[in-house]
Every structure is written in C-alpha cells, then in structure tokens.
Amino acid sequence: MAKTLSDLLPSAPDSGCSELATTLKSALDYDQLTNCMRCGFCLPACPTFRETGIEAESPRGRIALMKAVADGLMDPDEAFETQMNHCLGCRACEPACPADVKYGQLLEQARDSVEKHTTTHRWWVKAARKTAFDGLFPHQNRMRLLGGALQMYQKTGLRKLVRGAGLMKMFPAHMREMEAILPDASYKGVVEQIGAFHPAKGERIATVGLFRGCIMDVLFTETNKHTVELLNEAGFDVVIPESQNCCGALHAHSGEQDGAKALAKGNIAAFKAAGVDWIASNAGGCGALLVEYDHLLHDDAQWKQDAAWCATRTIDVSKLLVEHGRLQSAAQAAVAAGAGSMVGSGASIGGANNGSRSGVPASAPAAVSAISPHGHAAASGGCGGSCSGGLGFASDEKVRITYQDSCHLRNVMRSSEAPRKLMRSVANAEFVELAEADRCCGSAGIYNLTQPQMAGQILDHKMEHVKHTGAQYLLTSNPGCLLQMKNGIEKHGMSGQMEALHLVDFLHERICGKH
Amino acid sequence: MIHFPFHYPFILKGELYMLQQAVAGKLRAIVGAQWFKDDPESLITHSYDGTPMLQTLPDGVVYPENTAQVSEIIKVLQEHRVPVVSRGSGTNLCGGTVPVQGGVVMVMHRMNRILEVDLENLTATVQPGLNTKAFITHVEGLGLFYPPDPSSMAISTIGGNIAECSGGLRGLKYGTTKDYVIGLEAVLANGEIIRTGGKLMKDVAGYDLTKLLVGSEGTLAVITEATLKLIPPPKTKKTMLAMYKDLYGAARTVSKIIESRIIPATLEFLDNPTIRVVDDFAKLGLPLDMDAILLIEQDGDAETVDRDIARIAEICAGENAERVSIAADEAEALKLLTARRSAFTALARLRPTTILEDATVPRSKIADMVLAINDIAKRHGVTICTFGHAGDGNLHPTATTDARDANEIHRVEEAFAEIFEAAIALGGTITGEHGVGLVKAPYLEWKVGAAGIEVMKAIKHSFDPNNILNPGKMFAKSARKRVVLHRG
C-alpha cells in the first residue's frame, strides 16, 4: 500500500501542471516549507483560524497547501488563491513557531506568484491596483496631490454635498465607514511644513533619519511633526531625507515584489546619503518592511550590503526613545509637572536613560561613539529647567489609557515592551492592558478593504475587549491600526467616551513642561 | 504493507475510496452543505497531524455540530463501510489522526462548549472540541484546578487529550488525563449513543468503560461529551534549579526525593546536549560543562512548600549538585522555567525535522535510560537530545534530523527501535503519553506481548466489527522484529 510520491499525482507532474504551479514551485522556499513540522502551535495565534476553526485558514494549513503545490500534489486553483488572500499577514504565527519558520516570506512568495498569474481580479480591481501601486504610492508628490484633493473634498463642503446627496450609498458599507473616519488630509508633507533638519535639545546623542511614510505624510502629517519633536526633546538630531519614498509594504504584501524592491532601493540610497545613525519609523507596517530590506534584496549583489545596513539601523520611535533617548521616569515627570502624588503606575523607564549618557549602548552605531561623553546636558528650549533629566510626560487630568499592538511592530520588529514603558512613564495616566492586544485588529494594510467580512468580524471581537478596559484613550503605533480603531469606536457607538490616537500624538500632547 | 514508521518519500495515499456521491450527499444533508468539504484544500489540510513525515489524503472532512449529528454521520459511514477519523486540532505525535486508509475526517471543533461547571460536585461537563487552555483558564477563574497540561494545550482539545490520554508537566503529582475523566458520552460504531460513569467518585457498575475509552485513540468510539473532575488549586508554588556535573547525581536526586516521600509538582530533566542547544538559543548563561539540570517545583500550603523545597535543596547538595538556585519570586521562577520551556523550541530549530519520542521507565532507572540513549545515538551516528519529566520516568529523546536524508532517517529509525527495546528492558514502556497511533504500532507487541495484542484486538472487534473507526492505528499488520541490544 505504500505509494511513492509519483503514484499520488493525479497525472504526470510536468504535463498537467499549470503555469501558476510552475511559478510557485520555483518561488517558494522549499527549506522553509520543510521546516514546518506541523506541531500546530501557530493555530491559536492565528486570527483567521480563531474566527473560523478551519485548518485551511491557519498558518499550518496554508503552509501545507503551499507545500502540496510545491510537491506537485495539488494544482493551485481559485480556492488556493482565496486562501492566500484571506491571510491577514499579521505574522503573529512567527513568534509562536518553535521551528522559526519564516511564514511572512512564504506568504509573500505565494502571493507574488499568484499575482503574476491571477485571473480572478476584475478589470477595475486591476486598474485600481495599477494606479495605486505604479502611479501613486511610489511618487510622494502625487501622494501629496491626492492629499490636496482629499483635503479639498473634506474642507470645501464637497464632502457635505456628497454625503447629503446620498452619493456615499453607492459605495459598499465598509468603504463608507472608512470614508467617515479618514483624518483631515494635508497636501503639504512634514518637510514642506517644518523643513528637513531639526537639531537635538541639549547634547546630541545621535542623528536620526525620520521615515515619514507615504500615507503617514498625507493623512498623519501632524504625527510626523510630533515624532520629530519627541526625538529632538530626547536628544536626537533629526533629518528627513527628501528623496525617500513609500516603503513598499503594500506592494510586498500584495504580491508586487518588483515594485517593492525598487522602492526599497530608493529609501536605502536616501538614508545612506543622509549619513544617519538610526532610521526612525512611527508606523509599524512600514518599519517592518524596512527591517526586512535585507531579505527583500538578498539576491541583489549590488544592494545586499546596504540593505542589511538599512535593516539593522531601522528602529521604531518608541524603542529608540526608550533604549537610547534621554527620558524621565514617571516619578520624575510627575515632580517636574508638579503632580508628585499622582504618578500612574510609577514604573521607571528601563534602558540606557538611567545614569550617565557617557556609556554608549553597545548596539548603538559606531558614529555615536564619537560624541563626547558628558553627563546629562542641561536641556534647553521648551522643557525649562525642570526637565533637565530629559523628555518626560505628564497628563493634566487623570486618564486611563490602553494600547492595541501593531502586529508588524510586535511580530516583525519584535517591539512590544517599549511602547508600554512609554505609556507607563506618563505621570497621572493609568495604563491598562487590553485583552488580546497582541491580536490583529483586522486592518492589516488594505485587508479591511479587500476582505471586509472577515475584517469586520475580527474588529467586532476586538471592540468587545476595548470596551472592557474603560479607557479614555486607545493608542496604537501604526496608521492602519489607528484608522481601524477609529472605525471600531465609531461603529460601536463609543465615540463619546473614547478616542483613538497614535501613541506619538498622545505623548506629544503631554510633554512635561511644554504645554 | 506500510513500511513504517519512517520512510521517504513519506507521503502515503489512503486506499482511495472516492466517496460515492451518495455518501457525500447524505453527509451534507446531516450537517448542511458548508460543513462537509471534499475540495482539494480541505483534503490536503486534513492529511497530517503533528507527527513528522506522515501524510495521507482523506476523501472528505465533516464538522458535526452535536451528538445527534455524530450519530447520524457514523450510521451513514457504517452503512457504506467508510473509515472515519475523529480529531480535535491534530497535534498528536503518534500519527494518531492521519487518515491512513482515507475515508472521512471528523473535526470536533464546532462542539466546543462548556456545558456546566458543577460547583457542588466540583465537576465540569464539556464538549470534546473545547480548547484545553480555554478550559483551564475558565475553571481557574472559578477558583478551581484542572491539572493535565500537555505542552500543546494552547491549541489541543479536551477530546483529543482524552483520546490520547495526554500527560504533561504536572503528571507526577497530579496524574494525567485518565485521572480526571469520570464520565463520557460516546457514539459507537453502529451510531448508538452510550453514557459511561457520571459525576461519581465511586462507580463499579460493570467494566470501567470510561477508562477504556480514555486513550483509545479514536479506535473504539467517538467521544461527544466528557465529565471531568476538578480539584482545589494549590495555594502557593516555589521553583528551583539544580545543576550536576554527574548524571548519576541528578538521577539519584530524583530517586532520593521520591524516597523521602516528597512528590514535587514538577521534576524536569535536561541532559547535556539539550543544555547546550538551549543555551545557544535562549542565552541563559547555563554552564555547558554540566551533565544534567533538574528543574523542580513544589506547590501546596506555604509552610509545606517551604519545608519541601528546603529538604529538596539539601538532597541536591548531598548528591553533589554543583549549584542550586531557588527562585525568589514569580519572575525568577519564570526565568528558571525558561530553560525547560525552550528545550523543544531550541531543538526544533537545529535541523528541519524533529522527532520527539516518549519512552518511559521506572523513575529509579532514569540515569540508565539516559546513558542507554546516548550510547545508542552515538552508535547510529545520529543526534538525540534528551529532556523530559524525570519525576515520572517519562523522557523525551528527541532526534534532530532531515526528512530528505533517507539514509539518516533510516539510522534514526533503527536508533529509536533500540531505545524502545532499552526502555522495555528496564521495565519501561514504548510510550508514556503520546500514544501508539501509527508510529508505535509495530512496537506495541514488545510491550504488551502476543496475548496482550490478542485481547486488545478482541476488544477492538467487539466495539467496531467492521473496522471503520480510525483503522490502521494501534495494531500493525505485523510486529517489528525485535532488535538485539548491543550492551557493553
């Protein structure tokens, strides 16, 4: 009864094999497929498996499907494509995997292959993809034009007209919901508004290049400006290289590898030329691709080395502040803000901020060690004398805050503690942990637009947990998650009691001694 | 004959039933069209479980919603003599839920409710598809304790745990799944529904069918409901780590602790190759020249725990432990536990294929068993690291290998055959908690003997005369020839 592999094949493997199967066979990393030992430890981490209970909707199931195609056991059909698209790409399965299978890479290889052969996109989806991926995201000036158009729509009364005339009813419900919560767009990006160089307050610890992001810079320009200020206050020079572009994440996650690679090279060149020590990201989704540029360009001999440089120097703004910045503990901030008795959780921030700045952290780039090893430099500017210990945060009123992890920040950049340390450091704020904060909110890039049903289901479960926190502020570290959280708050009728904010904006509003 | 257990190319195809459309139609009528699937994606994703190198396609997958549907499904499949493999999350390590003869895989995930927690009798009645960890968390919230804790509990189901009689780290003091199942509802091969046991702490009415079904690996009936015993949780817990330069010192410590009438909640063991791998992975700064590490936990009343831990520390010192550290608080305890918890993860990253076995010996024979394993691995030129539950004699010799290397896989297979033989020679067994399934079927006779096999087969026949319930498991078509151990 034992049959060999070839006995199993429905027909001779080479004859009946579709073009997509051939592409997948060469694209999928067979070593990674083999490394999956099918222990099933990833299943509870997977949002789509949790929602459906169906094995094919789990990482183990999806890898089995990919392997079946690679083994010639199955011809990839429409159901295969659907299954690959159903994955959120949140990559919560990766930290859960004992064997360290690079699921995200396998998924991108599969999606890239599917995209090359797909027959399922309708003409208008293809057109929209082409416009967005080739004509829009790669060109920051066009993104700004779009931002301008959006701003005009929002500000001139056109939105009122459209909504009043019921034109939004032409769109599906999930598109209407997103339209309603879009923040005010800006046609002027962060550089146009405040310039490209911003010196550190006090002694310079290192030079940081801000990754501004394409969507971030149109819809969340204020967040970018606030990021610059936080970094300055904590002791970093900030430069914003103007020639940087979209990170390429939306391309990479949608099966447009070539587009992603071209964008990666543009960014690497921009930051290399700017001579920065760190590349700070304030969007988990973008940062996660930047830290994987080395993988994206691993077979490009010319770019490989610089890509690795970019990958190791990219860091989330929270982690940069906590591990390398000049920060105060909650207690210090409370004293500085004259609110000594109202310290939140009272936790002090770990990392390198305690004690003298003379010890440059081992992981800091070489350029940093050139800085003369003084002790605490007296801060100048907004902080006044009270913040000489560095950047601190205090809330005027007692507030309760909670936090939804950005999946890519947590699972790919592997930073979950730094944002929490920052939140705990805010005097007069009580941080409460959101149950299942580590679980995807359903935003997942453009997933909430392409898979509205599953995204909606996941969001509903998320909002139940959110309600339980009783928090006034729901903070996140990624624009997609932020929009989804705003959407959820709106949808669940909680807009009176709760506001969703980017962590950076929340902190900026509470810089001690500044407001 | 299936050449087993390790064979490359390793994908087997069941005897192709190609479910008659009539059967598929009847199943759809029972569960609704969306809960019976026979598309290629569903078949592929139900062709494996947590066991390396096994894959066989079923002919259909069905997701029943309640006991009545299970009964109807079984009747249809019995009528057409179609094999049925009932399963939870498919994480077992013995090939127990690979549909080797094709047929229908019955996934119990939709039957996942806690039907009742009886606070007067301290019992819980649950459906089989209930997630183990969710259940444990739920009862802990009520101030109660369900001890069986297989390492797959974050994803495994109670039904799967019952079918395999799962163990875990707490088995030494608290027993395994069989000690907590006191009543069952099950569907027999003819579709009849039986109930066994109940919320009863004593019950000798006839043969103990409850215990018979626990660990029966889906070969006797389909479990549709279980009544579980709950106990009060221990009040406090303390954790310690002891390191040894001499394996026998560690082994003697295990025996001495038991001999001193102390039963720790956890008594785990890591051998030198495992320590090296774990340290390389988790960077815990473990001393690499140690031959063995023991991780010990005691729980109970604060006073008893303190006294036991102090006494255990004395015993460790008396047996020449190089270092003994007692965790000061929860955080430090977690750190100590990290070494043990990282073992599987660290080993799994070494090579593409990880084969984890669970040979078990009387706990006084731990040292002999570890030495035998090391010797066998060396002779066969394979890497086997050993860790496990020393306190109950249940070791996990783990081979790190590559399924694509037929030659090496053959040597691993030979080494494991000798390890099973060695365990039996020491008065042990071929499997302590993973089950027989497909992988250990050829060795079952070594443990239970020809007469034992005959009586087990007779039991199987009386429950399932047409052999439709998880066929091909537990009993091999022919037993493996016993290896002769080279001692010396």
Contact of B132 with B158, CB cutoff 8 Å: yes
What is the chain B residue with the closest CA to A6?
B9
The alpha carbon torsion through A300, A303, A307, A308 (nearest 10 deg) reads 80
**Per residue in B383-412, pLDDT tens?**
999 998 889 999 999 999 998 899 999 999
Closest CB to B110 among A53, A73, A77: A53
Q: Write down the mean pLDDT value for chain A.
A: 81
Residue ending a domain, among A90, A117, A144, is A117
Residue A63's pLDDT is what? 97
Taking residues A317-345, report their average pLDDT: 74
Whether B72 is covered by a domain: the verdict is: no
Residue A171's pLDDT is what? 63
- Do both B241 and B189 map to the same domain? no
Confidence of residue B318 (pLDDT cuts 50, 70, 90): very high
Confidence of residue A126 (pLDDT cuts 50, 70, 90): low
CA pair distance A429, A432, nearest whole angstrom? 10
CA pair distance B373, B292, nearest whole angstrom? 14
Whether A337 is covered by a domain: the verdict is: yes
CATH number at residue B359: 3.40.462.40
Q: Which residues in chain B are contacts of A53 at CB distance < 8 A?
A: 63, 107, 109-110, 112
Residue B486's pLDDT is what? 44
Kindly determine whether residue B353 and residue A34, on different chains, have CB atoms separated by under 8 Å: yes
Q: In this predicted structure, which of A237-241, A254-258, B182-186 has the lowest mean pLDDT?
A: A254-258
For A83-144, the DSSP string reads HHHH-----THHHH-TT---HHHHHHHHHHHHHHH---S-HHHHHHHHIIIIIITT-HHHHH
Residues of B (198-217) whose Cβ lies below 8 Å from A: none
Chain A touched by B383 (CB under 8 Å): no
Taking residues A268-297, report their average pLDDT: 94
Closest CB to A100 among B2, B3, B349: B349
In A277-416, alpha helices (H): 284-290, 293-296, 304-313, 317-324, 330-336, 407
**Per residue in B162-178, pLDDT tens?**
999 999 888 999 999 99
Residue ending a domain, among A100, A117, A134, is A117
Closest CB to A35 among B11, B42, B352: B352
Residue A453's pLDDT is what? 86
Q: Write down the mean pLDDT value for chain B.
A: 91
Taking residues A247-265, report their average pLDDT: 87
- Do both B151 and B253 map to the same domain? no
Confidence of residue A154 (pLDDT cuts 50, 70, 90): confident
Taking residues A39-60, report their average pLDDT: 94
Residue ending a domain, among B204, B229, B254, is B229
**Per residue in B345-385, pLDDT tens?**
888 888 989 999 999 999 889 889 999 999 999 999 999 99
Query: Does the structure show a pLDDT above 80 at B487?
Result: no
Contact of B380 with B407, CB cutoff 8 Å: no
Residue with tokens 């301290």: B122
Confidence of residue B17 (pLDDT cuts 50, 70, 90): very low
Strands B84-87 and B60-62: unpaired
Confidence of residue B453 (pLDDT cuts 50, 70, 90): very high
Whether A258 is covered by a domain: the verdict is: no
Kindly determine whether residue A100 and residue B15, on different chains, have CB atoms separated by under 8 Å: no
Whether B134 is covered by a domain: the verdict is: yes
Whether A289 is covered by a domain: the verdict is: no
Residue A373's pLDDT is what? 35
- Do both B203 and B314 map to the same domain? no
Kindly determine whether residue A44 and residue B155, on different chains, have CB atoms separated by under 8 Å: yes
Q: Higher model confidence: residue A168 or residue A320?
A: A320
- Do both B161 and B248 map to the same domain? no
Residues above pLDDT 90, as percent of chain A:
52
Give the CB-side neighbour count of residue B122, counting CA atoms within 13 A. Answer: 12
Whether B35 is covered by a domain: the verdict is: no
The range of the structural domain enclosing residue B166 comes to: 114-229
Please tell me the total count of domains within chain B.
Answer: 2
Whether B175 is covered by a domain: the verdict is: yes
CATH number at residue B190: 3.30.465.10
Please tell me the total count of domains within chain A.
Answer: 2
User: Of A100-104, A185-189, B219-223, where does the model show the most confidence?
Assistant: B219-223
Chain A with chain B: Cβ pairs closer than 8 A: 102
**Per residue in A364-392, pLDDT tens?**
333 333 333 333 333 333 333 444 568 99
Whether A377 is covered by a domain: the verdict is: yes
- Do both B195 and B291 map to the same domain? no
Complex ipTM > 0.85: yes
**Per residue in A418-459, pLDDT tens?**
999 999 999 999 999 999 999 999 887 778 777 888 888 999
Residue ending a domain, among B406, B425, B444, is B425
Whether B76 is covered by a domain: the verdict is: no
Query: Does the structure show a pLDDT above 80 at B7?
Result: no
Q: In this predicted structure, which of A13-17, B386-390, B434-438 has the lowest mean pLDDT?
A: A13-17
The range of the structural domain enclosing residue A443 comes to: 329-509
- Do both B207 and B252 map to the same domain? no
Whether A101 is covered by a domain: the verdict is: yes
Whether B32 is covered by a domain: the verdict is: no
CA pair distance B120, A310, nearest whole angstrom? 62
Beta-bridge partners for B382 = none
Can you tell me whether residue A314 is helix, strand or coil?
strand
Q: For residue A461, give the H/E element and its range.
A: helix A452-469
Confidence of residue A515 (pLDDT cuts 50, 70, 90): low
Whether B28 is covered by a domain: the verdict is: no
Of the residues A31, A39, A63, A65, the best mutation for testing chain B's interface (the one with the most B CB atoms within 10 Å of its CB) is: A39
- Do both B253 and B342 map to the same domain? yes
